[in-house]
């Protein structure tokens, strides 16, 4: 079982930037696509971005397109979302997750989850 640990969350003013990190344990990190999700109070967990196992393919939710960039370093078993031009509506707990072999883009398609890191954007 892969274990995932997020870091890098915090409080930032609108228009600012944050770079989150997700470190994975286990030897098979490079074989799996990784995703970032977020969940705001009272809302469902939603996908933010997904990156393929080799980093060549990326998906972004429309709400973050052009502002967020996802990357990964398989040598370090780490995936990074760079979040720029942050807005108050980006406030949420951000989770990284490892996608199972069947693919898909919903939370149920991801088999391992981190504990989450809080991102708060003040106006």
> pLDDT tens for residues 37-59?
999 999 999 999 999 999 999 99
> Closest Cα partner for 40 from 116, 110, 109, 111?
116
Structural tokens at position 9: 């969350």
pLDDT confidence of residue 102: 86
Report the pLDDT value the prediction gives residue 66, as an integer from 0 to 100: 98
21-38 confidence digits (pLDDT tens): 999 997 789 999 999 999
Find the mean pLDDT for residues 57-84. 97
Alpha-carbon gap, residue 69 to 103, rounded angstroms: 21
Taking the C-alpha atoms of residue 86 and residue 91, their distance in angstroms, rounded to an integer, is 9
In 10 A of CB 20, how many CB atoms? Answer: 24
Give the pLDDT confidence score for residue 101 in this predicted structure. 87
């Amino acid at each position: 079982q892969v274990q995932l640990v997020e870091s890098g969350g915090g409080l930032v003013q609108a228009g600012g930037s944050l770079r989150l990190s997700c470190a994975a344990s286990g030897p098979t990190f490079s074989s799996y696509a990784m995703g970032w999700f977020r969940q705001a109070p009272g809302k469902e967990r939603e996908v933010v971005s997904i990156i393929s196992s080799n980093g060549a393919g990326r998906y972004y939710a429309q709400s973050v397109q052009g502002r967020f960039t996802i990357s990964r370093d398989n040598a370090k078993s780490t995936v990074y979302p760079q979040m720029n031009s942050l807005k108050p509506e980006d406030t949420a707990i951000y989770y990284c997750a490892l996608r199972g072999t069947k693919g898909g883009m919903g939370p149920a398609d991801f088999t391992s989850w981190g504990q989450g890191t809080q991102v708060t954007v003040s106006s």
